Amino acid sequence: MLNRITLRTVACLAFFLFGAALQAQEMVKESATGVEFPEAITISHGDNEYQLHVTGTAVRKKFFFQVYGVAHYMEDAGSYKSAKEARKAALEDGKAKEIVMSFVRDVGGDKIKDAFDEAFQTNMSAAERETAKADMATVLGYFSGEAKEDNQYGFRWLPGGVLITVIEGEEKPAVVSVPMAKALWSAWLGDDAVVDANAMVSRIVE
């Protein structure tokens, strides 16, 4: 009986502490969709672990429809005097970064694939696309299924151009290509971004 009470007490305490930790975690809300993202995340690859903080959020719209809320995370982001300066830093290799998309409507796999292919075609030179042809096909091949409402998709850009696709928490095999990573990041943080690029770095601008 004593052992049973002790085990029950330990289980209740663990549940309480876990719940308290969740409540204590700061969340950042994307205002248009209401999607909430953790302020800080920890990711790992191989023997390396990275602590990332959210730099900003935005909404992807198509015509009048909201498609997904998106957050950008960066390691040791620091602060910048302008959004342009912050966005430039986010488009450079060297620091671990992550893009997280949280869908607010169902989207077909072909549409998702076409969107990322357009990012490659628009933001990479012909020579870069030729060099990365096989890796581009690999990454685009990960998006064969439909994204459902509340699904989360993302990309991780780790130092050295390591690009990892994450679909519903599942890490796909990485490819290594700085031009590909920069092309994808440009879709959200470049001059012709599909979202408000300045909003994606608003938390690290003085």
Q: Residue 16 domain-assigned?
A: no
H or E segment to which residue 75 belongs? strand 65-75
Q: Residue 162 domain-assigned?
A: yes
Domain range spanning residue 156? 26-204
Q: Residue 13 domain-assigned?
A: no
Q: First vs last Cα of the chain: how many Å apart?
A: 60
Count of the separate structural domains present in the chain: 1
Q: Residue 137 domain-assigned?
A: yes
Q: Residue 19 domain-assigned?
A: no
Q: Which pLDDT score, from 0 to 100, does residue 5 have?
A: 43
pTM of the model: 0.88
Query: What CATH number should be reported for the domain holding residue 67?
Result: 3.50.70.10
DSSP 145: S
Q: Give the up-direction half-sphere exposure of residue 52: CA atoms within 13 A in the CB hemisphere.
A: 26
Q: Residue 130 domain-assigned?
A: yes
Q: Residue 21 domain-assigned?
A: no
- Phi, psi (rounded to 5 degrees) for 114: -65, -40
Q: Which pLDDT score, from 0 to 100, does residue 100 have?
A: 99
Q: What is the pLDDT along the chain (206 residues), one digit of tens a residue?
A: 444 444 444 344 444 444 444 446 899 999 999 999 999 999 999 999 999 999 999 999 999 999 999 999 999 999 999 999 999 999 999 999 999 999 999 999 999 999 999 999 999 999 999 999 999 999 999 999 999 999 999 999 999 999 999 999 999 999 999 999 999 999 999 999 999 999 999 999 99
Q: Residue 12 domain-assigned?
A: no
